Structure 1
């Protein structure tokens, strides 16, 4: 019966091996060098102003009491 216990991996040894494997994976990932970063150019459509205070927006502010917050 003692032989059967030694052949099977114990719970403690399983977690010890799992911790060693994760440490090795982190070390391997740290040695990889990423390529050069590319900057994202949003273009003119994404950088233009979108907010416009139209009549329906002004009505929304007036109905919900936001006009009282202005000084």
Structure 2
């Protein structure tokens, strides 16, 4: 009985140490500085798309937005 209890505790300690070591490794990897690269959206993503259509004007009118122009 004592041997079973002792082996159960050693397994538990092993898993506890393994969990702590893996957590420490992940935390260390998360804080490694890397060089940042800027995102270039390109011409297609920066073009103007907003058009004030009748549908948009009706939405503003129904929802009580103040008139702009």
TM-score, normalised to structure 2's length?
0.57
* C-alpha RMSD of the superposition: 3.2
Question: Which aligned segments of 4 or more residues in structure 1 are displaced greater than 4 angstroms?
Answer: 30-33
Aligned equivalent of 1:40: 39
Aligned equivalent of 1:22: 23
TM-score, normalised to structure 1's length?
0.56
For 1:1-71, list aligned pairs within 5 A.
1-9=1-9, 13=13, 16-17=16-17, 18-23=19-24, 25=25, 26-27=27-28, 29=29, 32=32, 34=34, 36-62=35-61, 64-66=62-64, 69-70=66-67
Instruction: Show structure 2 runs of 5+ residues with no match.
Output: none
